[in-house]
Chains A and B, each alone.
Chain A
Amino acid sequence: MFRKILSPFARMFEFQARTHYRAERHSMALTVGIILAAGVGGFVEIAPLFTIDETVEAAPDMRLYTPLEQAGRDIYIREGCYACHSQMIRTLQDEVDRYGPYSLAVESQYDHPMLWGSKRTGPDLARVGEKFSDEWQVQHLINPRAVVPESVMPQYAFLLENELDVESLPARLHALRRVGVPYTEDQIDNAAIDARGQARPETEAADGVFQRFGDDTNVRFFDGRRDRVTEMDALVAYLQILGGLTDLPSQTRSLEGD
């Protein structure tokens, strides 16, 4: 009986082996076969993510990174922070208890590229914004073990000495607009001024930031230094906005609680 059940499969393998025996004489048959076989899965999994509307939630209050925050994000990438810190809270109870409401797709809608990460040598940072003071963040980046003795994080004291390159920001925001981030002409043109302004409260430049990016924008001396705008300013400004681009995740949780 076993043999009878298997016989169609045996015939199929027989057929397959015989066809293959002929096909493998042609390099182009193999080439086309490989491309087709390997093409299906990627197409079926990726293409619909661009067309199915429910993939990314609608969040009308979703805001963009300011030039200073985007500059900080670029530093985060440059230093490889993503190798040890995820920015993706999974839909698991312990993660929600530890880090906050689980991450939504819309929160990284404008993240080119996304920084969801793959490893937590350090904790998740998706909602680290405003959990610690600027002062704490700066001290922790200068010497992590002065703040958390058990930490294995590298020191980033040099960020406080490096003046931030703001001149390239208009070009960077422009490139971001080309890949789909809706920066306005005004925001792009003033990117360099706004980047400085966000780290210089009570100045004319700071008013421009509020005007172009909204009154809720964090405008502070992030690194505590008043003499110049450093890479530390940018990185801390970025860390402090993580999880703060939209209120939707916290609403989702309260809705589910009802």
Chain B
Amino acid sequence: MLQRLTIAERQLALAISIAVILAGLLMAAAGSGDPMGPHGAIVMFAGAIVFLAVLRVIQDPEPLEDRAENYYDDPTRVGLLISLGWAVIGMGMGVWVAAQLAWPDLRFDAAWSSFGRIRPVHTSGVIFGFGGNALIATSFHVMQRTSRARLAGHVAPWFVLLGFNLFCVIAASGYLMGVTQSKEYAEPEWYADLWLVVVWVIYFVLYIRTLARRNEPHIYVANWYYLAFILVVAVLHIVNNLAVPASFAGAKSYSAFAGVQDAMTQWWYGHNAVAFFLTAGFLGMLYYFLPKRAERPIYSYRLSILSFWGITFFYIWAGSHHLHYTALPQWVQTLGMTFSVMLLVPSWASAGNALMTLNGAWHKVRDDATLRFMMVAAVFYGLSTFEGSFMAVRAVNSLSHYTDWTVGHVHAGAMGWVALITFGSIYAVVPTLWQRETMYSWKLVEWHFWLALAGTVIYVFAMWNSGITQGLMWRTYTESGTLTYSFTDTLVAMHPYYVARAAGGALFLAGAILAAINVYLTIRNVPQKRTEGDYPTPSEATEPAVPVAE
């Protein structure tokens, strides 16, 4: 695989890996006695693996391939496999944390295994590990196909992919050691945050340079979304993580903002991590893989424009709906609520655009579980954005906030929308990437589909029930005007739903494991066959990059 790099590129990779090893050494030396020390060791180890891998091929001859003839898919393949690995880890952690809430002693009595420490391993594992790797990998795939051009650079994509995973590993291992900033979905400490900025800048440059090579006059809509994902996540990440380290030889830092300003910044980040990480990037996936798989053009170009700019503009305002009835000034709460409700328009425009695209291809949805994954993802996207706008209304929020309803809402989006569109895209792209005829087993895909759907529905219904029950119990008064239920009363009422939730999560996890097995068997056992037209062509070529309107 690395033989495909030129000797100059291999030398560059070697130099970068040496720099990483030195940085790790510095961290390990400075941070001995602090969690930063083990993190330095992890960085050194990661650098050493790359160093050895490149060193093995450094003497090999220059590659003979004509780079203009092919797309560069090696990083995409590795990225998808890593993503599936994180899916199993992250969802496995999810089932474990869910089980801890039903059976709290399920943790071997160790400090690292408490709910508070492993819950971020679950959230970061699925959001960044599974989702992030899938986004990076598919973005490499999509930007090349829709631009009809090979990636601009061969070291940069590896740097982005492996660098991002180093961030994920530092994040996850840090949580187990108690390293956290406590900002939800932005828990990693200052050195991990700085590293991610470097990785992200390279990612943006790679994307723009590849677009600059394109043989298509227009930039396809999937790329707008990937671009918005890269750009806005960078802004959010930098501002929300502004902090002053207590010492450059330790992990601990203190956020630059405090109290109400910090809360607003955090939820401006938190909600837009949902918008630009978990929505924009995955809409990019949807806009490419769904029309490709259905072999139908996107229903409406104008709806794409409307929904893209609507999402980009409206979403940013919505964060303050996480802070209804708090010490945040009311004018900000009201702005957040208003924009959250308006957000329904571009969100449903996207979901509708996706579903209308399937007109004329519904028989394929019936027969092809891969396309059905994408269709159901679009439906869940529509449902959870509706639910989100609803829950952002102040009166509804007074009931739903702080309860499991929020957790259910997030998982309707994360499982029903993000994970399903990702699995659909993975099943669609794996045969193309490895040049196979088809997936190893369509029956396994079918099984996965129904396990995932059943798991999601059980999960969401359990959380609706527990959330609304708890919210109502908290506000129930006796006739004499005192609160009817103590907090522990509500906790007892939650127990059956927590068991059901863990069961739903386990079904979903089982589906993800089937996906990993199916992909593995596809690569090992399915005969080779190159997908037609899957190579860079000039824009005058007869085969369009994406299906065009009739």
Asked whether A92 lies within 8 Å of B325 as measured between CB atoms, the reply is yes
Partner-contacting stretch, out of A102-110, A199-207, A220-228: A102-110
Asked whether A34 lies within 8 Å of B257 as measured between CB atoms, the reply is no
A105 to B332, CA, bound (A): 14
Set of chain A residues within 8 Å of B319, measured between Cβ atoms: 45
Set of chain A residues within 8 Å of B250, measured between Cβ atoms: 168
Instruction: Say yes or no for B541: interface residue by CB 8 A criterion.
Output: no
Set of chain B residues within 8 Å of A258, measured between Cβ atoms: none
Complex interface residues of chain B between 78 and 119 (CB less than 8 A to chain A):
100-102, 104, 107, 109, 111, 114-117, 119
Asked whether A38 lies within 8 Å of B258 as measured between CB atoms, the reply is no
- B238-262 to A contact mask, C-beta < 8 Å, 1/0: 0100011111001011111111111
Instruction: Say yes or no for B64: interface residue by CB 8 A criterion.
Output: no
**B109 touches which one: A92, A116, A155, A176 (CB < 8 A)?**
A155
Set of chain B residues within 8 Å of A172, measured between Cβ atoms: 246, 252, 254
Given known contacts A111-B259, A112-B262, A172-B252, A16 and B313 CB-to-CB distance under 8 angstroms: no
Asked whether A17 lies within 8 Å of B219 as measured between CB atoms, the reply is no
Given known contacts A103-B326, A112-B254, A172-B254, A77 and B491 CB-to-CB distance under 8 angstroms: no
**A25 touches which one: B178, B219, B276, B474 (CB < 8 A)?**
B219
Instruction: Say yes or no for B266: interface residue by CB 8 A criterion.
Output: yes
Set of chain B residues within 8 Å of A181, measured between Cβ atoms: 258
**B327 touches which one: A105, A153, A155 (CB < 8 A)?**
A105
- B167-197 to A contact mask, C-beta < 8 Å, 1/0: 0000000010011111110000000000000
Complex interface residues of chain B between 380 and 396 (CB less than 8 A to chain A):
none
A187 to B419, CA, bound (A): 51
CB closest residue in chain A, given B179: A78
Instruction: Say yes or no for A58: interface residue by CB 8 A criterion.
Output: no
Complex interface residues of chain A between 103 and 149 (CB less than 8 A to chain B):
103-123, 144-145, 148
Set of chain B residues within 8 Å of A105, measured between Cβ atoms: 259-260, 327-328
CB closest residue in chain B, given A74: B252
Asked whether A46 lies within 8 Å of B265 as measured between CB atoms, the reply is yes
Given known contacts A49-B261, A84-B115, A152-B104, A179 and B254 CB-to-CB distance under 8 angstroms: yes
Asked whether B219 lies within 8 Å of A45 as measured between CB atoms, the reply is no
Asked whether A77 lies within 8 Å of B180 as measured between CB atoms, the reply is yes
Given known contacts A114-B266, A154-B116, A179-B255, A54 and B247 CB-to-CB distance under 8 angstroms: no
Asked whether B266 lies within 8 Å of A113 as measured between CB atoms, the reply is yes
**B104 touches which one: A33, A108, A117, A145 (CB < 8 A)?**
A145
Set of chain B residues within 8 Å of A91, measured between Cβ atoms: 325
Sort chain A's interface into a size bin.
Answer: 35 or more
A156 to B6, CA, bound (A): 54
CB closest residue in chain A, given B113: A154
Instruction: Say yes or no for B316: interface residue by CB 8 A criterion.
Output: yes
Asked whether A35 lies within 8 Å of B231 as measured between CB atoms, the reply is yes
**A151 touches which one: B180, B208, B218, B491 (CB < 8 A)?**
B491
Asked whether A121 lies within 8 Å of B101 as measured between CB atoms, the reply is yes
Instruction: Say yes or no for B406: interface residue by CB 8 A criterion.
Output: yes
Set of chain B residues within 8 Å of A40, measured between Cβ atoms: 313, 316
**B258 touches which one: A17, A44, A110 (CB < 8 A)?**
A110
Complex interface residues of chain B between 307 and 342 (CB less than 8 A to chain A):
309, 312-317, 319-320, 322-329, 332, 335-336, 339
Asked whether B104 lies within 8 Å of A151 as measured between CB atoms, the reply is yes
Instruction: Say yes or no for B442: interface residue by CB 8 A criterion.
Output: no
- B285-316 to A contact mask, C-beta < 8 Å, 1/0: 00000000000000001100110010011111
- B214-233 to A contact mask, C-beta < 8 Å, 1/0: 00011100001001100110
Asked whether B312 lies within 8 Å of A34 as measured between CB atoms, the reply is yes
Asked whether A34 lies within 8 Å of B231 as measured between CB atoms, the reply is yes
Given known contacts A113-B257, A150-B488, A118 and B246 CB-to-CB distance under 8 angstroms: no
Starting from the known contacts A78-B178, A175-B253, 18 additional A-B residue pairs (CB-CB under 8 Å) come to A17-B305, A24-B218, A30-B219, A37-B312, A42-B239, A55-B329, A56-B259, A79-B117, A105-B327, A111-B262, A112-B254, A113-B254, A114-B263, A148-B488, A154-B114, A175-B245, A179-B244, A179-B258
17 A–B contacts from the bound complex (CB under 8 Å): A25-B217, A34-B231, A38-B315, A38-B316, A49-B329, A74-B252, A83-B120, A92-B475, A103-B326, A106-B259, A111-B259, A113-B262, A116-B263, A116-B326, A154-B104, A175-B253, A179-B255
